[in-house]
């Protein structure tokens, strides 16, 4: 396996800017160089407004980058703008886990988990089978017919994690996955992530909590749209 193939994600000099209505340029990312290996569990830390979430969204193909190169599993996708390809990447290559769970309130837990496969065009039987397996793995099979509003925060996040795994993606992207949970549930979610990392999923997680970040193999520290430290060491008292 060559070096690029061993990397899940590689970025070279990535910039991202927004433009206000008056033409003023707001630089959010200024020259990001990043390498994340396959199966690595990485936490993105840093101050608010430092560009963590923007970087995560660019990795997740929700945002186009302004300039630079972005290699996903060795392939440069930095210039891809076509919706079909981007939707395919988000659907098959990535799984998103959000702070606010972002489940569809009208759908049952089971239907929420199965939804990515609907967009992938998988048959109903296969979808059901896979979704039930995931609910079982995440220990919420007994809640499969519940609507999100009938579930606790921890349960909702398990459903959301199950959904992110539905199409068996290589990469999981999590934006403050424990941010809306109490510490007990938060720790449980982190144990799940730890397990997934062991199963060779690449996990990139945005967090500002050291307790959460310490579950990761590596911590990347960002400030003002730049990576300050590619292997940040937490203080030992955390």
Which spans of this chain sit near other proteins (rule: CB under 8 A)? Answer: 57, 60, 62-63, 83-84, 87-88, 90-92, 96, 98, 102, 104, 106-107, 115-116, 118-121, 163-164, 167
What's 103-142 look like in SS3?
Answer: CCCCCCHHHHHHHHHHHHCCCHHHHHHHHHHHHHHCCCHH
CA pair distance 49, 52, nearest whole angstrom: 8
Minimal distance in Å, beta carbon 79 to other proteins?
18
User: In the chain, where do the E strands start and end?
Assistant: 7-19, 25-37, 41-46, 67-72, 75-76, 94-97, 171-175, 202-206, 218-223, 226-229
Closest CB to other proteins among residues 67, 100: 100
Minimal distance in Å, beta carbon 106 to other proteins?
5
> Phi and psi dihedrals of 29, rounded to 5?
-120, 130
Measured in residues, the chain has a length of 238
Minimal distance in Å, beta carbon 90 to other proteins?
5
Closest CB to other proteins among residues 166, 219: 166
Minimal distance in Å, beta carbon 112 to other proteins?
10
Closest CB to other proteins among residues 98, 232: 98
With beta carbons less than 8 A apart as the criterion, state whether 200 and 168 touch.
no
Closest CB to other proteins among residues 204, 219: 204
Contacts of 103 (CB under 8 A, 6+ apart): 109, 112, 148, 156, 159, 160, 163
In the beta sheet, which residues pair with residue 218? 42
Minimal distance in Å, beta carbon 63 to other proteins?
6
Minimal distance in Å, beta carbon 13 to other proteins?
22
CA pair distance 195, 17, nearest whole angstrom: 36
Nearest to 169 by CA among 134, 140, 124, 128: 134
CA pair distance 112, 157, nearest whole angstrom: 12
Closest CB to other proteins among residues 164, 202: 164
Minimal distance in Å, beta carbon 121 to other proteins?
5
Closest CB to other proteins among residues 17, 211: 17
Closest CB to other proteins among residues 57, 157: 57
């Amino acid at each position: 396996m060559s070096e690029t193939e061993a990397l899940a994600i590689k970025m070279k000099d990535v910039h991202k800017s927004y433009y206000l209505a008056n033409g003023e340029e707001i630089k959010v990312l200024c020259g990001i160089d990043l390498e994340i290996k396959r199966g690595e569990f990485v936490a993105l830390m840093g101050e608010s407004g430092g560009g963590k979430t923007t970087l995560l969204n660019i990795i997740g193909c929700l945002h186009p980058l302004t300039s630079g190169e972005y290699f996903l599993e060795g392939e440069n996708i930095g210039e891809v703008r076509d919706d079909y390809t981007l939707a395919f990447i988000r659907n098959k290559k990535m799984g998103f886990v959000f702070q606010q769970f972002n489940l569809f309130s009208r759908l049952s837990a089971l239907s929420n988990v199965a939804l990515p496969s609907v967009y992938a065009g998988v048959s109903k039987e296969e979808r059901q089978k896979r979704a039930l397996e995931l609910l079982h793995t995440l220990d919420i099979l007994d809640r499969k017919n519940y609507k999100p509003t009938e579930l606790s925060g921890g349960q909702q996040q398990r459903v959301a994690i199950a959904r992110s795994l539905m199409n068996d993606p290589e990469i999981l992207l999590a934006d403050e996955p424990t941010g809306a949970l109490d510490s007990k549930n938060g720790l449980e979610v982190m144990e799940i992530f730890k397990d997934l990392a062991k199963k060779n999923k690449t996990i990139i997680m945005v967090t500002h909590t050291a307790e959460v970040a310490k579950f990761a193999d590596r911590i990347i520290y960002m400030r003002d749209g730049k990576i300050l430290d590619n292997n940040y060491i937490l203080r030992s008292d955390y």
